[in-house]
Homo-oligomer: A and B are copies of this chain.
Amino acid sequence: MTEINRKITLAARPVGFPKPTDFRLVEEPIPAVGPGQMLVRVRYLSVDPYMRGRMNDAPSYAPPVGLGEVMVGGAVGAVVESQHPEYPPGQIVTGNFGWQAFAVADGRDVMRVDPAIAPISTSLGVLGMPGLTAYFGLLDVGRPRPGETVVVSGAAGAVGSAVGQIARLNGCRVVGVAGSEEKVRHVVEELGFDAAFNYKTTQNYVAKLRELCPDGVDVYFDNVGGPLTDAVFLTMNLRARVAICGQISLYNAERPEMGPRLLGLLIQRRARVEGFLIFDFRDRYAEGLRQLSRWVRDGKLKYRETIVDGLENAPAAFMGLLRGENLGKQLVRVSAE
């Protein structure tokens, strides 16, 4: 290959909300493919809230991105050159290829994608990590039972929109919380949520939750955190379960945000709050993908994608995601088919 690779590196650690100068577009030769390796030409890149955490030099469940290193991220593309027997040229694969046009991979943590099932972009969304996060986080951590009320924050995002639909498929009443009238309409009218509200224009979250959840809240799937989560704690039923998936409202805080101390409510309600990461369900990805694929095929699980064109626009797409500008899965189209 004589083509040039383009990649987005971390130029500076953001203080608060990321800005364009925290990223740098770099061009360099495409690396050579060695034995057991393959070269992937990326078609779609995923931007996700968790990436904000990787930009900080702080201990977490995964090491931070180093300054000058390519930004981490899941992507899907086609093998264009291969010295790996299991991944011939033409094979569509998904993996943590990073924010770049070409990636060399060795097969670890790479998964084959079957374009016959659904558009390959879904391998980064409803049939990828966000879908699996919704599936295992709701069913295994939240454990909703038919007839229970499930509240999901970030309801119109890639994870939240799947959570709400899977809860409906399990016989639950589902109430979504999202950040625009368009999103509220989308989750109710197109995705079939029972109700939803716009947290940006709602004054009293507790009153609104009581109105939309007349039987109280049994399961809360939290992508957002902050005052909304405080309000849900106040409306929880006996033995409620809270699955903490993300806390996007806090990711750009420059110092720890303060909130009322609410753990005492867990005693009254005998409630459980549990954090999870999708990687812990690695051994069951196949099970999850099988079920998610069936639901997508049968039209029972719908998804939306918000696609930005061009690798150079990945930082803008990511910042838009942090501002909640996406409907459904936020993707960057890196190359045409």
Contacts and interface: CB of A to CB of B under 8 A. Distances in A.
Interface of A: 60-61, 222, 225-226, 229, 244-247, 250, 256-277, 280
Given A272-B272, A273-B272, A274-B273, A244 B267 contact: yes
Contacts of A261: 225-226, 247, 250, 256-259
A311 to B, nearest CB: 29
Contacts of A273: 263, 266, 272-274
A27 B257 CA distance: 52
B264 A270 contact: no
A58 to B, nearest CB: 10
Contact of A275 (B225, B256, B263): B263
A172 to B, nearest CB: 21
Contacts of A246: 267
Contact of A270 (B60, B266, B270, B277): B277
A275 B274 CA distance: 12
A219 to B, nearest CB: 15
Given A270-B280, A273-B274, A276-B270, A263 B225 contact: yes
30 contacts: A60-B268, A61-B267, A61-B268, A225-B264, A226-B261, A244-B266, A244-B267, A245-B267, A246-B267, A250-B261, A256-B260, A256-B261, A256-B262, A257-B261, A258-B258, A258-B261, A259-B260, A263-B275, A264-B275, A265-B275, A267-B277, A268-B275, A269-B275, A270-B274, A270-B275, A270-B276, A270-B280, A272-B272, A272-B275, A273-B273
A40 to B, nearest CB: 29
Contacts of A275: 263-272
A37 B257 CA distance: 56
Contacts of A270: 274-277, 280
B280 A263 contact: no
A262 to B, nearest CB: 8
B274 A272 contact: yes
A241 B244 CA distance: 14
A102 B157 CA distance: 62
Contacts of A245: 267
A217 B60 CA distance: 16
Contacts of A274: 266, 270-273
Which residue of A61, A260, A267 has the most chain B CB atoms within 10 A of its CB atom?
A267
A107 B272 CA distance: 34
Given A226-B261, A256-B261, A259-B260, 8 more contacts: A60-B268, A256-B260, A263-B273, A266-B275, A267-B276, A268-B277, A271-B275, A272-B273
